[in-house]
């Protein structure tokens, strides 16, 4: 696949109403670009190939022509909500079919569509998917103008949030204010820089020491101990012990008052939390899952 960076949204605090915008569900999964040329590939935003979703690959092969599309791979719970923890479980156990929600098309039959307005691109995409009638590749639908009501519904249904997109926006491989994201709760990607020794009867590790990048330096943002079961702790420890290092990766070494094992800052995870404190720490962070679709250097405070 040609190395195209996806268009990224800017986080804003409040929903709004505007006739020049559409609003979609913010899917809680892995961002993925799909391409059909000689064969079909599904790749992450940092250009890693997703081999672990063969059912999606097989369905993408049924879509006619040559194309590049943009979307999100998710797992749905019993209420039809995307659930990142279920996606993590699928990585381990391969239980349940993942779904690829597609929301944009960049190229079609040799034509670059990125210069077209969003609504024209989505019209082409919707028609292409409609003809194919797929089970695990779906069009990510939208509503127009009424962002406030849509956000209230997303919060009521327990969704991660909503996306807001300008109807006439072009597709640009950068972070832009033509696409916005509004979250119903606090979520943040963080880089793992170390782990503490376990206490009591807890196995493998105590807590993760995490941070975000600021001006090229990894800045400590707190420790994450909640959100793991025993199997999850074991899997995390197996990953971390392979990248142990003597040097602290943070710009300023934190003091968690317990023995720490430092690791090279390569792994990214996502946490949910109550708020940012005035000194830049995550308050009450809970581990949600690993982000295999993002590079550590891309992780900054949202």
pLDDT for 201 equals 82
Residues of the chain with CATH 3.30.470.30: 8-183
Residues whose CB falls within 8 Å of the CB of residue 159, separated by 6 or more in sequence, listed in order: 25, 26, 28, 81, 82, 184
Query: pTM of the entire structure?
Result: 0.84
Alpha-carbon distances, residue 194 vs 158, 241, 269, 292 (angstroms) = 32, 10, 13, 18
pLDDT for 1 equals 64
Confidence of residue 3 (pLDDT cuts 50, 70, 90): confident
pLDDT for 89 equals 81
CA-nearest of 66, 68, 134, 127 to 100 is 134
Average pLDDT, the chain: 93
Q: What is the mean pLDDT of residues 61-79?
A: 95
Please calculate the CA angle 77-80-83 and round it to the nearest 5 degrees.
45
pLDDT in tens, 230-254: 888 999 999 999 999 999 999 999 9
pLDDT at 173 > cutoff 90: yes
Q: What is the mean pLDDT of residues 63-76?
A: 96
More confidently predicted of 3 and 157: 157
CA-nearest of 31, 9, 5 to 22 is 9
pLDDT for 153 equals 96
Confidence of residue 189 (pLDDT cuts 50, 70, 90): very high
**Domain at 8-183: CATH code:** 3.30.470.30
pLDDT for 256 equals 82
Q: Name the CATH code of domain 187-298 (choices 3.30.230.10, 1.10.3720.10, 2.40.50.140, 3.60.150.10).
A: 2.40.50.140
Q: What is the mean pLDDT of residues 206-235?
A: 94
Residues of the chain with CATH 2.40.50.140: 187-298
Confidence of residue 92 (pLDDT cuts 50, 70, 90): confident
pLDDT for 43 equals 94
Q: What is the mean pLDDT of residues 98-105?
A: 97
CA-nearest of 38, 4, 31, 40 to 132 is 40
Catalytic residues: 26
pLDDT in tens, 108-159: 998 999 999 999 999 999 999 998 889 999 999 999 999 999 999 999 999 9
Q: What is the mean pLDDT of residues 275-301?
A: 92
CA-nearest of 28, 32, 25 to 46 is 32
Backbone angles phi, psi at 42, to 5 degrees: -125, 120
pLDDT for 293 equals 86
């Amino acid at each position: 696949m040609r190395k195209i960076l996806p268009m990224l949204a800017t986080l804003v605090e409040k929903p709004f109403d505007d006739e020049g915008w559409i609003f979609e569900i913010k899917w809680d999964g892995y961002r993925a670009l799909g391409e059909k040329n000689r064969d079909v590939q599904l790749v992450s935003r940092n250009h890693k190939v997703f081999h672990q979703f063969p059912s999606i690959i097989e369905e993408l092969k049924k879509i006619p022509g040559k194309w590049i599309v943009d979307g999100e791979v998710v797992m749905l719970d019993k209420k039809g909500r995307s659930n990142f923890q279920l996606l993590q479980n699928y990585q381990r156990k391969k239980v349940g079919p993942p779904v690829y929600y597609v929301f944009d098309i960049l190229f079609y039959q040799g034509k670059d569509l990125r210069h077209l307005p969003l609504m024209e691109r989505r019209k082409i995409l919707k028609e292409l998917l409609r003809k194919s009638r797929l089970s695990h590749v779906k069009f990510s639908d939208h509503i127009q103008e009424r962002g406030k009501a849509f956000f209230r519904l997303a919060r009521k249904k327990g969704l991660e949030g909503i996306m807001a997109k300008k109807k006439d926006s072009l597709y640009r491989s950068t972070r832009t204010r033509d696409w916005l994201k509004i979250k119903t709760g606090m979520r943040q990607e963080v880089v793992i820089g170390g782990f503490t020794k376990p206490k009591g009867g807890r196995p493998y590790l105590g807590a993760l020491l995490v941070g975000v990048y600021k001006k090229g330096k990894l800045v400590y943002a707190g420790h994450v101990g909640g959100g793991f079961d025993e199997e999850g702790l074991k899997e995390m420890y197996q990953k971390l012990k392979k990248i142990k290092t003597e040097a602290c990766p943070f710009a300023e070494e934190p003091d968690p008052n317990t023995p720490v094992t430092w690791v090279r800052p390569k792994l990214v995870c996502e946490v949910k939390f109550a708020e940012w404190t005035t000194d830049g720490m995550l308050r009450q962070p809970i581990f949600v899952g690993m982000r295999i679709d993002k590079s550590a250097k891309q992780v900054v405070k949202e």
